[in-house]
Every structure is written in structure tokens, then in C-alpha cells.
Amino acid sequence: MRRHAVTAPESGAWEEDVKEIKGIILPLPTPFKADGEVDEALGCALADFEIGAGINALFLLGSFGQGPVMRLDQRQSYLETIVRHVRGRVPIIVHVGTADVFSTIELALHAKSVGVDAIAVVGPYYYSDHTEYEVIEHFKEVGERVAMPMLVCNNAEYSGYDITPPLMLKLHQEVPTIFGTKLSTNSFETALRYLAQMPKDFAVFGLSSSFMPAALYGIRGTIVPPQSSYPELAVSLWRAIEARNLEEAMTIQMIINELSQTTSRLGRIYGRAVQCEALRLRGFAIERFPRWKTKSLSDADREVLRAALAKAGVPVGSSSASREHQMA
């Protein structure tokens, strides 16, 4: 994939590039050391793991990637490290959203300078009383200053407001470099409404439990954090869909859904610590994830998680080994 220059892209040139971004876009978790600094070496190992599984692109520093709770210098340093390590093996989308437009532009210009393929921007958050005018102007200012492919992250739960299909259409018309959206909703019906109201070349990414059959209706790909611990399953699902092996695809989707039910149930108790534990069971010695303190899984629930992964065919280590790491 062509890397974007710091200058504005030629009209029509980048559209063909972003069409290549489809399928399984894996959110890369940002592993931290005990003091809250980024473990960049482990981050590179995680990137190799995801790429080795056959993913189609990496998504950095979103909610799962912990961007909003990191210092700007941490976000910039980690991005530089991952881009340098990946060396163009897969496209990279980096989330640069912040509560204010100036910090977002700063991160976006930096991302453009190091050669990412696209930026992702969530609407300005915390001030959930932003008017429609203010939301549109936020994206317009980023688009005008940065001039590179932009993905709109629509996360109503975190930003405090929904970017509805009509508003998304306005954004797309006002900011020509917006090529798609990442939906946080898992509603098949909601995704179909975006597909129906947006132009045919507008990319919609989202869904987990209904990715199959949503992909048959035009969903371009999925960006689902929990799949980072079992990318092989996600990739096999996408390949079955592409090959139109629909029976196989539905079987894999059901396996993923059953596993997701377990991780979601545990997540309501332990939060993102469940995803950290899943990656530890895959062999990654993560000291801290997320960046804030979380409740440790009980031995019984750690075994529930290990058993669920194993049942889905995911290679995992022992719960006892993971427990020993936590106590080290």
C-alpha cells in the first residue's frame, strides 16, 4: 500500500488505497509496565502475533489501545515504534481523537508524518452537550489541516452522543477525506441503516456477533477488540466469507459468539482485565493492561476463560502459569 506523504494527497489518489482496507482490522492492545509506561517491545511482539495470524490491518490507540488515557508523547512514541516495526506488512489505522481539536490535529499530523495509512477520529468527548454544528466543525477542522484518509469512530457510549446516519452523511459531504466509519454498536439493523443511507463507496466497519451475515450485505470489515486474543478465528471467518463458504463461516461465527458470551460475562466483573488475561494465556507477559488498576480474575474464573478459549480451538497455556505471572 502506498504511504501517504506529508503534503495533501492528490484528488482521487487515496480513495483507491483505502479500498484495500477491509476484512479483519485488529485493535492492537497497548501493553504497559507496572509504572504505566508503555512496554514497546511487547507491543511489537503483539503486532507480530496479529500479523502472523493473517489479519488485514492494524488499528492502534483507540479505546482498546488505551489512547485516550495516554500522554500525547506516549501515543506518538508508541506509534512510531509500531510503524517502524511493521514496515508496511499491513495497513495501519491510528486513532488520534481527543477531547479538543488542537490535540487531535497535533496527533494526526504526527501520524501522517510517520506514514500511517489512515487516521481514525472519535467525536470530541466529555462535553456530551456538543451541538451538531460543533461536531461537524471539529471534523472539518481536522480534515482541512491534515488532509488524509479519515475514519469516523462512532462511540455513543464514550463520547456521549450518537453520530446518526443522517449526521454521518453530512460529515461525509463536508469532509471529503472521510472514507468510512467504525461502529461500536453490535446491532445488525443499525449497521444496515448506515449502509442504506451512505454512498456505496463509504466503508462501514463493525459488528462481532453478526459479522456473518453482515459482510454479505456490504459491511467492509470488523474492528473488534476481544478478537486480538484469538485472531486466527477471526481471520478464518473472513476467509470463509470471502470464499463464500457460508456454512463454514456460520459455524465459525457461532464459535466466536459462544466464546464472546463467556468473555462478556467475565468482563462485567473484571473489565478489560479479561482481555489482558486472555493474552497472558496466549503467552504474552503483560504487566499491566489497561493502564488503570483492575480486579484480578479469581482462579476459578481464570480457568473458565482458559477452558472457553480451548473449547474454541484457541491454543492456550495453563491457568496456573498465568497466575504465577500475576504473582511475580
pLDDT tens, residue by residue, 129-155 = 999 999 999 999 999 999 999 999 999
Integer Cα distance of 142 and 103 in angstroms: 10
Given a contact cutoff of 8 angstroms between Cβ atoms, the answer to whether 148 and 114 are in contact is: no
Domain 13-327 has CATH 3.20.20.70: yes
pLDDT at residue 20, as a whole number: 83
Residue 24, amino acid: I
Low-confidence ranges of the chain (pLDDT < 70): 1-16, 319-328
Question: Are 262 and 305 a contacting pair, CB within 8 Å?
Answer: yes
What pLDDT, on the 0 to 100 scale, is given for residue 9? 43
Half-sphere exposure of 298 (CA within 13 A, CB side): 5
- Contact between 209 and 179 under an 8 Å Cβ cutoff? The reply is no
The pTM (predicted TM-score) of the whole model is 0.92
- Cell 444496515 belongs to 192
Distance between CA 237 and CA 220 in Å, rounded? 14
